[in-house]
Amino acid sequence: MIVRTLTGFARGLALLALAATQVVILGLALVAFTLTFGLGLVFLFPWSVRMVRGRTRQARRIAGSWAGVKIDAPYRPTPPPPVPQRDGWYREGRQLYRTSLIPNFNRTFDWMSKDPATWRDYAWLIAEPVVGGLIAASPLLMVGYGVLLAAVGRPVEVLAGLVLVAGGVLIAPHVPRVHGLWTKVLLAPTQRARLLNEVRHLTQARTEAVDTQAAELRRIERDLHDGAQARLVAIGMTLGAAEELVDSDPRAAKALIAKVREASAASLVELRQLVRGIHPPVLAERGLGDAVRALALDSPLEVTVSVDLPARAEAPVESAAYFVISELLTNAGRHAGARSVAVDISHRGAALRLTVTDDGHGGADPSKGSGLQGIERRLAAFDGVLAVNSPVGGPTTAVVEIPRAYPGIGGGIIPRWKVRLMTVCWGLFWLPLFPQGLVTLVMKIFGADERSWFLALYLPEVLQLPVIFAMIALGGGMVAYGTRMARQLKAADGACA
């Protein structure tokens, strides 16, 4: 508790310092904005936008690492660079340019100026020194003001100061999360931006899925042509030779027929393997857990499998998970030189999680064109992600998450207005609860003459206590609502992760 409190104070002080230094960035951005749209110095606008985005990128990173509030980048995709015509000139509208400098600048300016996230960044940049600074400074202000009251020496002020100090200590650990939630209000993608990014992602995933399917069909065609088809042709030719020898040399004909029987058995084995490579029957009949256990029995490695799933996922999801594990086991034996592999199949809320750990020599890198890139392409159709930790010398751990594999599990999406209200409650609850509530109640009980900024003491006598208790109830209600919504938000994030 002490460590959390001290960490909260330190991070609050750091956030306050960042909010204060942000005034310099805000000033430079406003000057660049004025020169851009006032004097036509348009070359300053991209520079100022990149500067602002650098600060907001830092704020998102701090919110994620300090508060656990994940904020995705809301910006539209970068426009592609201009492509020259056959004659080497660049066309931009009705204009032709010798170099790509002006067309590229026009695209960049249009992309930045028409992206709503750019103006939300500017809005956050303006509001952060006030709102974010107030959130970060609230425990420090309460403790400081409490110490000043206690230094007066009179019992009433001492008691009121102790209440304020205690309140500041209690809310200090929550400051980073409240600040992260405030940051999320303006810097998170809007619903429209999420939908546009989702459409782009789905379009890309569909293209990759079609390419993967085409490659899979070509592989099946190649396997049939080089394997089963060749064997069937050989069987037909052998049967023809046996047919010619059946009268003149029955013994040789029997030998050829025996070879045909062996070749047909081998063809049947190949066809079964090919069918298993398309969709294993055990996967369709018994589910992912038993299919992976059967895969482990066929593996030359020592494979241990643990399964903890609430139900069966959709067939495409199970198929993708099965072949991902199959590829990881193949990589462990072929490339990593592993002897034992541990496979864990579980779920995290609505997400399916696969963890494969081997004792090989490590060094796996998806960027080197290994089978890991094929796994990423397979997972892209399901918004799945692959994380690999493979230091040189091993061990290698590959973690795969497929979101929304179990859509019936986990909570729903919390409306944005509730998140905003929760942020307001966490940022301002101390005002009615402590200065206007508990501290004012102490001043009222001891009959202090000092009214200061305790609003209830300026009211008629008959209204003072009801207003004080109403303030305490309001502050307590804001704390209760903020706590409940924070838990729901955490549960929803866990379910969607």
Give domain status of residue 160, yes or no: no
Tokens of 454: 């305790």
Edge-to-edge strand ranges of the sheet holding 385-389: 302-307, 340-348, 351-358, 396-402, 385-389
Percentage above 90 pLDDT, the chain: 7
The rounded mean pLDDT for the chain is: 81
Give the end of a domain, one of 247, 278, 309.
Answer: 278
Give the pLDDT band (50/70/90) at residue 58.
Answer: very high
- Asked whether the CA dihedral 185, 188, 192, 198 is positive or negative, the reply is negative
Q: Which region among 185-199, 265-279, 382-396 has the lowest average model confidence (pLDDT)?
A: 265-279
pLDDT at 273: 64
- Separate counts of helices (H) and strands (E) for the chain: 18, 7
Q: Are residues 469 and 340 in the same domain?
A: no
- Asked whether the CA dihedral 464, 469, 472, 477 is positive or negative, the reply is negative
497 vs 178, which has greater pLDDT? 178
User: How far apart, in Å, are the Cα atoms of 440 and each of 157, 283, 468, 469?
Assistant: 11, 68, 7, 10
**Domain interval for residue 425:** 416-496
SS3 388: strand
pLDDT in tens, 272-305: 666 655 667 778 788 888 888 988 888 888 899 9
Give the end of a domain, one of 402, 435, 460.
Answer: 402
Q: Are residues 377 and 455 in the same domain?
A: no
Q: Are residues 255 and 311 in the same domain?
A: no
Mean pLDDT across the stretch 486-491? Answer: 71
SS3 221: helix
Give the end of a domain, one of 402, 430, 461.
Answer: 402
SS3 284: helix
**What is the DSSP secondary-structure string of 456-483?**
GGGS-HHHHHHHHHHHHHHHHHHHHHHH
For residues 142 and 165, the answer to whether their CB atoms sit within 8 Å is yes
Q: Are residues 338 and 464 in the same domain?
A: no
Q: Are residues 322 and 468 in the same domain?
A: no
Gap between the Cα atoms of 441 and 107, Å rounded: 62
Gap between the Cα atoms of 128 and 347, Å rounded: 38
Q: Are residues 449 and 335 in the same domain?
A: no
Give domain status of residue 81, yes or no: no
Q: Are residues 330 and 262 in the same domain?
A: no
For the chain, the domain total comes to 4
Give domain status of residue 432, yes or no: yes
Q: Are residues 435 and 386 in the same domain?
A: no
Give the pLDDT band (50/70/90) at residue 395.
Answer: confident
Contacts of 283 (CB under 8 A, 6+ apart): 291, 318, 319, 322
Gap between the Cα atoms of 212 and 353, Å rounded: 22
Regarding pTM above 0.75, the answer is: no
SS3 133: helix
Give domain status of residue 110, yes or no: no
pLDDT in tens, 129-142: 888 888 888 888 88
Tokens of 424: 């307001």
Give domain status of residue 252, yes or no: yes
Q: Are residues 131 and 214 in the same domain?
A: no
Gap between the Cα atoms of 311 and 419, Å rounded: 32
338 has a pLDDT exceeding 80: yes
